[in-house]
Structure 1
Amino acid sequence: MKNRVLKDNLYFEGETEGVIFNHYSFCEMIKHIMVKYGEITYQQANEKLENSFLIEEPESKDDVEFLGHEIEFHWAMLACYGDMYWIKGIPSDYNNFKKEYLAWETAIKLKYKLKELYIYYEIK
């Protein structure tokens, strides 16, 4: 990874709410989704992620919320196949295989010790 160090535990705050964004865990999950559902190698997934904006560390809570407004599956397919990938018949979500996907995601988080991607908290 071009001398880039991805980190977890990035804190961002607004007026009443903050979020801890686990960027390393987010990027690892994106890569594993690309491997499983994009059917590419981990090395290829790493290269595709490196060439996407997802690898850039967010600078604000708004940046984190932008990432959180879509499911990770969408971001992974976007990085894997490019813009408008869904018109090629590639699903943009996991609704048709939700139970299998959620079980797989849980197993990946445990296997690779990935943190929850977004942890919101109230500012007092």
Structure 2
Amino acid sequence: MKNDGLKFTDETTQEEVVFNLYTFCEILKGCINKYCNTSMEEATKSVEDCKTFKSPISSTNDVYFFSHEHPYHWAMICYYGDMYWKNKPELVQIPESYDNWETNYIKENNLKEEVFIF
């Protein structure tokens, strides 16, 4: 999970896509830390143990799969599990502070500005 700049070519369109996986995972950890009020160690463990990341990222379809949801939602899935919104409906709405938080988090942690490049 420490790779940024994973490149894949869509076999149908020949479009190249880039997935900054390391940046993505670091954002998820930071988001869990902030919005789930947990330690960074617990946030890291949640992302590392998330079954969604157990399969290797090996195609544009994998990249499209991760890009179809907002990083905030992926973070909640990692921490609370699949279908978290049934037990935690208050977490469905992305906090108003999220975009500003993410921008600052990326800068403070020297992460890539974009997670997905299409």
TM over 0.5: yes
Superposition pairs for residues 32-111 of structure 1, below 5 Å?
32-52=30-50, 53-54=52-53, 56-89=55-88, 90-94=90-94, 97-98=95-96, 100-111=97-108
- How many correspondences in the alignment? 113
Q: Please tell me whether residue 9 in structure 1 is matched to residue 8 in structure 2.
A: no
Runs (4 or more) in structure 1 with deviation over 3 Å come to none
Q: Name the counterpart of 2:19.
A: 21
* Contact 1:13–1:19 (Cα < 8 Å) also in 2: yes
User: Which amino acid in 2 is paired with 1:58?
Assistant: I
Q: Give the secondary structure class of the aligned counterpart of 2:38.
A: coil
Question: Gaps (5+ residues) in structure 2?
Answer: none
**Larger RCO (CA within 8 A; separation ≥ 6):** 1
| Percent identical residues | 35
Question: Gaps (5+ residues) in structure 1?
Answer: none
Partners of 2:82 and 2:17 lie apart in 1 by 28
Partners of 2:9 and 2:65 lie apart in 1 by 14
User: Which amino acid in 2 is paired with 1:92?
Assistant: V
